[in-house]
Amino acid sequence: MTEDQIREMACRGLKAIAPETDPASLRPGDNIREELDIDSYDFLQFLIGVSEETGVDIPEADYEKVFTLAGLVGYLSARLP
């Protein structure tokens, strides 16, 4: 999975969680929760969806690494074949 594919997958997942938002407008360093105004439960649901789609487990200890789009893309890129 390329970085662009990861971004597209993340945007789809975020749009499903928060349909009234525009995840494509996120800049790489933006805090996803703050910019899209989603709560911790919705963010957790998003991460579960990402894990299910990619097969990459994101343990709670690593949540701080994936709060931004750039962080999520980097995290997944390092763990996907």
Residue 73 to residue 41: CA distance in whole angstroms: 21
Instruction: Provide the number of structural domains found in the chain.
Output: 1
> Could you tell me the pLDDT band of residue 77, with boundaries at 50, 70 and 90?
very high
Summarize pLDDT for 29-39 with one digit per residue, the tens: 999 999 999 99
Q: Which domain holds residue 21?
A: 3-79
Give the pLDDT of residue 43: 97
Whole-angstrom distance, CA of residue 16 vs CA of residue 66: 18
CATH classification at residue 28: 1.10.1200.10
Q: Which amino acid is at 7?
A: R
Alpha carbon distance, N-terminus to C-terminus of the chain: 7
The predicted pLDDT at position 72 comes to: 98
13 vs 61: CA distance, rounded Å:
21
Buried b / exposed e along 53-63 (16+ C-beta atoms within 10 A): ebeeebeeeee
pLDDT at 81 over 90: no
> Residue 34 has what pLDDT?
96
Contact between 42 and 17 (Cβ < 8 Å): yes
Q: Which tens digits make up the pLDDT trace of 16-73?
A: 999 999 999 999 999 999 999 999 999 999 999 999 999 999 999 999 999 999 999 9
